[in-house]
Structure 1
């Protein structure tokens, strides 16, 4: 079996399997030789921001000189992106070698009358094999969906658990209220292991605090007020933390350490703050000088989240209510200085009508172009354009072809404007693939 056949096999997996229990995943790990015990794990869950927080943590660890792995989902262009070693996606040979090990185990399980691993479970098991074989010291591990029943929670002894922003998403799986969803995310908390969490939603925070107390896990809350934004430009954001840990005494004055993030969205300050708090909490295990923390934050790269891919062209995978609200916050900051163009698409299991109304309620666009993504879940580009018109956008256009739509949007942006490509991670992936081919 070659690489292409391996990828095809994994993509076909959902058609002949079902969700398995955590005990099934743990048994798979045991039969693979417990690869997850060969490195230290920072486990990250949340609705929004968990991938970015993982990226900040990984960048800091790399700057500190540690060998580290990063397991995230979904991928944007190529499935290998889900597995990074020292911030580089694995090559096809490494992917194939791990696949063969997990495929052999899957065949054994089926022959025994047990269950075949799910799509995500296969990728998770492959990741554990990949990182163990590579000899990484630390792994930043992002959950897939939820937390309590997520395959990643089969890792029983992380060194820290991090819970990012929680909001209403995947409600058909996780619950109908923020509290219910927070309960699922808090399922990653392990007895006695510190949990660092986003405390901005008080209802979610209370659920996390209560669960941490039940498990005697030290809990560290981070809120927006913990950071001061000093500047927000097209080049990124400068901020400081209201935390004595990051202050230095100069004579009789206290000077705050300044951090720079290479993203334009203010919500990334919160994700960076969570990463910095995690490093502070792990200070006895990981002694990282402040200048290394600064370098790690400044050099962080993360695909598809307010990512500048060309001059004046930003892609953002915002695809739920909270993500769209945060996109609007960022766009509103820049619309007074630059004319804005929007390229938008969404899939039909999201409330795209409300997403569009939220956007149009706060942002004035020079031009809006819509397109369609997501295969069987796609929403017709013409339908999306009409919703923008009904919401008050005077200048709209649409194309079913993403390449043509992107060209139209770039032309509308002009030399003086900003183009935001928003609404779906599928859209971000397609655009990044176009950039790799054409630029």
Structure 2
């Protein structure tokens, strides 16, 4: 694997240690002890916790947007971020100010050191303190990796659990089967909770049903929204995610909220979630970006392709995939016979190389190209393009890759 070099302006480098320094260190006890030491901020505020492999950020975003449209005050935590740590903590669509976040993290340093909190745990703790100061009606908590030992699971008041698509990812931490991964995520379901999910793989369905039965929880299955629903997020997958968000918002009425169907419709239409099947611009040329970084997400992206590309037409892919991801399987899913894929490093992360992928996927080797960065590929693709059809390349493989392109202003909003 290769590690590309990037020296971004890390706003919080002096307060949050690099991931590599700590590695993956999942635990619930540290967070519970830290929150207890802080008098359990927001313990009385109900939360909808969003778990899953793919789509959980979109679901969380749409729920938050629906709450805002209904005039309710809500706090949202998400991860990862694209260009700023502040994206991870929002109140009614407003990101926390960087100065506020820095101040909170500084104040938390003694607690963080005493309880040995990870950077993610520090951010969730900071979010809870920020939310406590804003007198909220609901929290929307997107879990990070897994669920059973996730920092968001330390919140004691999670009557609603919204579940995105569960598939194979982070196998080194969660297990090498859908049953094992599903069990880690389903463990967030507590006694009496209401659980909402769109259709899942059979193995996942069995785990969810068994956990709900054990916990005396109710399980609501929803069908994807029809085309009558206007969504602010692009792609067929969002109709599945939107259905989960809609059901969560409707269920909140059982807890004393007053959310109408019209407010839900407006909230889902107004939702925005950058980096997911989004069209951006490079030097006035259109470029599609998507954060697909595992086989299940690649399957969905391949399905979405049918909307913009006829069968047999060439697609140019620009793929940056972290070294611990299932890149060979993603290639096999995405690449059709006429396609070309440029393999680039994910800035700041150990990444798959063209040589490695060519060796593992020899039938696709002739379709693979190598480049040191995305912009080099775009320059090559669009040089002397007068008279040629206006191809729209797709950049995918990592949200970190997309975030770096936005932060460095290589890609811009239309």
* TM-score interval for Structure 1 and Structure 2 normalised by the shorter chain: 0.7 to 0.9
Q: Does residue 301 of the first structure (1) align with residue 272 of the second (2)?
A: yes
Report the equivalent of 2:342: 369
Closer, same or farther: CA 319–148 of 1 in aligned 2, 3 Å:
same
| SS of match in other structure, 2:15 | helix
Q: Does residue 273 of the first structure (1) align with residue 246 of the second (2)?
A: no
Which of 86, 102, 105 is 2:108 aligned to?
A: 102
Report the equivalent of 2:219: 219
Which of 348, 371, 374 is 2:323 aligned to?
A: 348
TM-superposed deviation, 1:133: 2.0
Q: Residues of 1 paired with 2:309 and 2:97: CA distance? A: 41
| SS of match in other structure, 1:11 | coil
The answer to which structure has the higher helix fraction is: 1
| SS of match in other structure, 2:234 | coil
CA contact (8 A) 2:406 2:412 kept: no
Which of 320, 324, 338 is 2:294 aligned to?
A: 320
Aligned residues: 398
Q: Does residue 66 of the first structure (1) align with residue 51 of the second (2)?
A: no
Report the equivalent of 1:333: 307
Q: Residues of 2 paired with 1:399 and 1:17: CA distance? A: 28
Q: Residues of 2 paired with 1:323 and 1:55: CA distance? A: 18
The answer to which structure has the higher strand fraction is: 1
Q: Does residue 380 of the first structure (1) align with residue 353 of the second (2)?
A: yes
| 1:130-169 alignment runs, 5 A limit | 130-169=130-169
Unaligned ranges ≥5, structure 1: 110-114, 230-238, 240-257
Q: Judge which range, 271-280 or 371-380, deviates more.
A: 371-380
Q: Residues of 1 paired with 2:381 and 2:86: CA distance? A: 29
Closer, same or farther: CA 117–261 of 1 in aligned 2, 3 Å:
same
| SS of match in other structure, 1:139 | strand
Closer, same or farther: CA 13–346 of 1 in aligned 2, 3 Å:
closer
| 1:24-423 alignment runs, 5 A limit | 24-107=30-113, 109=114, 115-222=115-222, 226-227=223-224, 229=226, 239=227, 258-284=228-254, 285-310=256-281, 312-336=286-310, 340-361=315-336, 364-365=338-339, 367-380=340-353, 390-391=363-364, 397-409=369-381, 416-423=390-397
Closer, same or farther: CA 281–364 of 1 in aligned 2, 3 Å:
farther
CA contact (8 A) 1:45 1:164 kept: yes
Closer, same or farther: CA 385–292 of 1 in aligned 2, 3 Å:
farther
Q: Residues of 1 paired with 2:325 and 2:22: CA distance? A: 26
TM-score (norm 2): 0.87
Q: Residues of 2 paired with 1:88 and 1:400: CA distance? A: 36
Q: Residues of 2 paired with 1:375 and 1:219: CA distance? A: 41
CA contact (8 A) 1:70 1:141 kept: yes
Unaligned ranges ≥5, structure 2: 1-8
| SS of match in other structure, 2:393 | strand
Q: Residues of 2 paired with 1:387 and 1:345: CA distance? A: 17
Closer, same or farther: CA 399–385 of 1 in aligned 2, 3 Å:
farther
TM-superposed deviation, 1:93: 0.9
Q: Residues of 2 paired with 1:146 and 1:301: CA distance? A: 24
Report the equivalent of 2:6: none
TM-superposed deviation, 1:61: 0.7
Closer, same or farther: CA 298–18 of 1 in aligned 2, 3 Å:
closer
TM-superposed deviation, 1:380: 3.1
The root-mean-square deviation of aligned C-alpha atoms, in Å, is 2.8
CA contact (8 A) 1:98 1:126 kept: yes
TM-superposed deviation, 1:376: 4.9
